[in-house]
Structure 1
Amino acid sequence: MKQNALTNIINKNSDWHEVVYPQRKNKLLKYFLVLFILMLTIFFVKVSNAIPPLIIDIPVIHGYMSFNGFVDLLIIVFWAVSIYKSIRFYFNFVKDRKSWIANNLAYMIDTLKLYDEDYFEVIKEDRVVKEKRIVRVIRISYNESEKYIYVRIMRDGDRFTKEATNLDENLEATLGMELETTNITVNYVEYTFLKYKDERINLASEISKSNGSDEIRITGNISYELHKVVHSLVVGGTGSGKSFFILGKIVSYLNLSPQADLRIVDPKKADLSLLRFVTGFEEKVATEANQICKMLREVVELMERRYSEYFDNVSAFGKTYRDFNLPVVIVIFDEFSAFMHSVDKKIAKEALDYVFQIVMKGRQAGVMIEILMQRPSADDLPTNIRAQMGFKAGLGAMDSIGYNMIFDTNNVEYKTVTEKGGGYIQLDGIHTAPVYFETPYIDKDFDFIAEIEKLMKNQQMADISHVAGVEYENTI
């Protein structure tokens, strides 16, 4: 009964195809091809014999050819072409009916012996002999979309149930594709493969593609809507590409419509602190402990004001900050661990309380936080805060303990990261497990400060135009 139920799961969606093993050979088609070729040959022979002999010589190179000989030559050519076309049509027909995915998966079943055999007594030539037959086969189905191939290994309670969770490397080699995610359920294990290698995007070209949405694109295949994936945790040591990644995200945030309201916390007074010299950021960068706590408190107060002004009656049911065209407020907190270790416990507790309020209540009001760390540490970032992070990324080489702290999972086999800007990422609602990615490519001549100044200036001009328009309307 369980097997029938699992079969029904596959059949509910006609796009899922079950791999047949051993593959059935359709001998009828071969017999039909042979019969067709034979009939075609007889037809051309009869046509040749039906032509009356004519004593006509046709001039050819260095001599003459009889008319009948010329006709016979044409018949032979037509016969050969017809036979060739028939055979080619047959093989194309057979190839189309047998998906390469099904063929490769059947080959994997065969080479890994993912089937059980038993002996049966049969009568051959008046003798009882034992014949080996396949009695049980691992059940595999697949589905193909524009970007992905999905493979499900059914868990029927037999010896293949355990095998189902350990076939990731074999499937990668069999399909020649990179594994994106693995989803383990009671009834099956689903592997998702990228049909095409993910592309590293160019930050400069992405900036020019602003379309008024709050979509943030990370790679060719990975993007997310900011209002759905709130709060971020980015971990990466020196040389991992973390700084450029964050600067790139800042540019993307400022390119949103309405433009994001950013607050920068940089207790080490590194690159991010220099944004205080950019027009519009003068009062939005904090480096000292008292400034940092003040900024966090002000953000929490802003969040509470939004709730009291926009979400204080039943008409706001199911709405978010986007329904009121409010800009998202994002606190970018660099060197979080360094800050927690460099201040006294009272200040650390105060800051942590503000961070906790933001991650717990900020989603609907459009108030978010992005925490940056060099090394993952459960002591510095409590689980109740880490669990609320919708965007998690670990950049650069890292051991499994570090990855497990970021992503709260220990059943992923991480590959060694050698590319600068490479790492693993997991987005709520998009990934069920961390996947490898590479941060957007940034040209060495790209001027972050100039780009940020331009975006801030554009917003100021838009604000001035809006105010002028309102004042003009009021005079009418």
Structure 2
Amino acid sequence: MVLDIRNNILNMTSKKDKKWTDVVFSVKKISLSYKLLGLLIIVLSLSFFWAFVDNTIPKTDFLGGLINFLSLVIVIVLWLITTYLSVRWYLALFKKNKSWIANNLSYMIHTLKLYDEETFETIKNNTVVREKRIVRAIRIKYKETDKHVFVRIMRDGDRFTSEATKLGENLESSLGLELDSTNQTVAFAEYTFLKHKDERIGLNSTVTSVNDSDEIKITGNISYELHKVPHSLIVGGTGSGKSFFILGKIINYLKLSPQADLRIIDPKKADLSLLRFVTGFENKVATEASQICRILRETVELMEQRYTDYFNDVSAFGKTYRDFSLPVVIVVFDEFSAFMHSVDKKLAKETLEYVYQIVLKGRQAGVMMEILMQRPSADDLPTNIRAQMGFKAGLGAMDSIGYNMVFDTNNVEYKTVTEKGGGYIQIDGKHTAPVYFETPYIDKDFDFIREIENLVKEKQ
């Protein structure tokens, strides 16, 4: 059964992907003739250089000495160029016009010994000679586009099957490219590499200037449209850059047209709670349990009212809040886990019910949740809510349990995060697995409160 499934996937792959190229691997042995040719190139090159220098007649006058010096310089340059081209030509004899990708992957196969050899006996010059021959090697395919290099390690049920999912770091080193994402099927493990390193962008570059667009850029290569990715989960401990990231996103939302309707929940009364002093946010910032439930309840009521007013007949089929020019409503819930541990079970259950209604029904009506936590916990944020989060980010150094809780996957190789604002991200419709990223750069002296005040005033 498994074999049939794997064969079907391979057949579909071969029909759909015409540009995949096999890496043909073989251990090349340099023959005696090629060795002699290489030695001849070196001897002729050194002999020519030595003969010229040895036969150069010293000149005592200034002009003659200058001419002699310039001639020597020219000959040295020509000798270096000729030697370089000769060596390149000599090495090319063994590459057989392979691409740089194939050559580097072949080198990786050789150095990691991802092949099996067996000894055979042959007769040469009436003598029995024992030789080693490659009987099987790991199968690798690759494909190149303008922005990416794709590498597939085939899983054929041999000893290389388990190796296929562990080669991320080796492939990165061999190709000299940054791993963007991984994908694993029963038939192969696929690695996607960026040909050009992703760039960290500034806050001013995160919102597109195109009218009626709600595209938000995270990095040079990563962006998403808010109406297609409605809910977010951001996890990060102290010093991870989580606070700057969400403040930057708040500024992005206030730059949208129409301007987003923001509701802020900060049970720890930290930086986000200070937005209650900004004009326009007076009744939209909650820090106490009763206020938090009120804001969530009012948001659910607004969502239901939108469905009643705008999605009540067949003319609304296929439409969203954007078709009615409604502002997106975003609830930013900071320190979600801390709140759930600070209230009684009845209030925690009520909060979860409101949150679940929003994440389940809010997309079409334009009502969205941004949940922030220091550490993910299945007890605090159930799976049925996490599964609705289209935008997931884990900032700072996290252990495998934390990553698995955020991204619901355990077959990804995570690198150690050392950069503040660095972490892993997964966006529905963009990534099949978490990828490394760095949040938009924000100067430490940037005045968030003043910027938010100015944006709110502009839209009034």
Normalised TM-score (structure 1): 0.78
5+ residue gaps in structure 1?
31-60, 63-79, 461-476
- Report the CA distance shift for 1:88/1:170 in structure 2 as closer, same or farther (over 3 A): closer
Matching residue of 2:125: 125
Matching residue of 2:139: 139
| Residue-by-residue CA offset, 1:363-388 (whole Å, 9 max, x unaligned) | 11111100111222221111111121
Instruction: For residue 345 of structure 1, report the CA deviation from its aligned partner.
Output: 2.1
* Equivalent pair of 2:267/2:335 in contact (CA under 8 Å): yes
Matching residue of 1:285: 285
Figure out how many residues of one structure are paired with residues of the other and give that number: 414
Name the SS for the 2:440 alignment partner. Answer: coil
Amino acid at match of 1:215: E
Question: Residues 369-380 of structure 1: matches in 2 within 5 Å?
Answer: 369-380=369-380
> Partners in 2 of 1:439 and 1:104 — Cα distance?
32
* Equivalent pair of 2:205/2:217 in contact (CA under 8 Å): no
Report the more deviating stretch, 85-94 or 183-192: 85-94
Instruction: For residue 185 of structure 1, report the CA deviation from its aligned partner.
Output: 0.6
Name the SS for the 2:161 alignment partner. Answer: helix
> Partners in 2 of 1:434 and 1:454 — Cα distance?
35
Matching residue of 1:16: 20
Find out whether 1:243 has 2:243 as its counterpart. Answer: yes
Matching residue of 1:350: 350
- Report the CA distance shift for 1:370/1:130 in structure 2 as closer, same or farther (over 3 A): same
> Partners in 2 of 1:105 and 1:285 — Cα distance?
55
- Report the CA distance shift for 1:23/1:134 in structure 2 as closer, same or farther (over 3 A): closer
> Partners in 2 of 1:3 and 1:229 — Cα distance?
34
Name the SS for the 1:378 alignment partner. Answer: coil
> Partners in 1 of 2:446 and 2:85 — Cα distance?
60
Find out whether 1:202 has 2:206 as its counterpart. Answer: no
Instruction: For residue 330 of structure 1, report the CA deviation from its aligned partner.
Output: 0.6
Amino acid at match of 1:287: T
| Residue-by-residue CA offset, 1:332-379 (whole Å, 9 max, x unaligned) | 011112222222222221111100100111111111100111222221
Amino acid at match of 1:148: H
| Residue-by-residue CA offset, 1:407-464 (whole Å, 9 max, x unaligned) | 222233333222221222221222222222211111123211121122112211xxxx
> Partners in 1 of 2:382 and 2:135 — Cα distance?
53
| Residue-by-residue CA offset, 1:208-236 (whole Å, 9 max, x unaligned) | x5223111111112111111222111112
- Report the CA distance shift for 1:134/1:220 in structure 2 as closer, same or farther (over 3 A): same
Instruction: For residue 328 of structure 1, report the CA deviation from its aligned partner.
Output: 1.3
| Residue-by-residue CA offset, 1:20-69 (whole Å, 9 max, x unaligned) | 112789x9xx9xxxxxxxxxxxxxxxxxxxxxxxxxxxxxx99xxxxxxx
Percent identical pairs in the alignment equals: 74
Question: Residues 389-400 of structure 1: matches in 2 within 5 Å?
Answer: 389-400=389-400
- Report the CA distance shift for 1:90/1:243 in structure 2 as closer, same or farther (over 3 A): same
* Equivalent pair of 1:3/1:156 in contact (CA under 8 Å): no
Matching residue of 2:115: 115
> Partners in 2 of 1:366 and 1:5 — Cα distance?
38
> Partners in 2 of 1:173 and 1:403 — Cα distance?
24
- Report the CA distance shift for 1:370/1:265 in structure 2 as closer, same or farther (over 3 A): same
Report the more deviating stretch, 140-149 or 127-136: 127-136
Matching residue of 2:69: none
Matching residue of 1:160: 160
| Residue-by-residue CA offset, 1:127-159 (whole Å, 9 max, x unaligned) | 454433222221111111222211001112222
Matching residue of 2:210: 211
Instruction: For residue 313 of structure 1, report the CA deviation from its aligned partner.
Output: 2.5
Bigger radius of gyration, 1 or 2?
1
* Equivalent pair of 1:204/1:442 in contact (CA under 8 Å): no
Report the more deviating stretch, 124-133 or 397-406: 124-133
Find out whether 1:333 has 2:345 as its counterpart. Answer: no
- Report the CA distance shift for 1:329/1:134 in structure 2 as closer, same or farther (over 3 A): same
Normalised TM-score (structure 2): 0.81
Name the SS for the 1:97 alignment partner. Answer: coil
Instruction: For residue 296 of structure 1, report the CA deviation from its aligned partner.
Output: 0.8
* Equivalent pair of 1:23/1:106 in contact (CA under 8 Å): no
Name the SS for the 1:341 alignment partner. Answer: helix
> Partners in 2 of 1:89 and 1:114 — Cα distance?
27
Find out whether 1:179 has 2:179 as its counterpart. Answer: yes
Instruction: For residue 325 of structure 1, report the CA deviation from its aligned partner.
Output: 2.3
Matching residue of 2:294: 294
> Partners in 1 of 2:287 and 2:16 — Cα distance?
57
5+ residue gaps in structure 2?
35-62, 65-78
| Residue-by-residue CA offset, 1:59-116 (whole Å, 9 max, x unaligned) | xx99xxxxxxxxxxxxxxxxx9xx9999799789988932111101011111222222
* Equivalent pair of 2:321/2:365 in contact (CA under 8 Å): yes
Question: Residues 412-423 of structure 1: matches in 2 within 5 Å?
Answer: 412-423=412-423
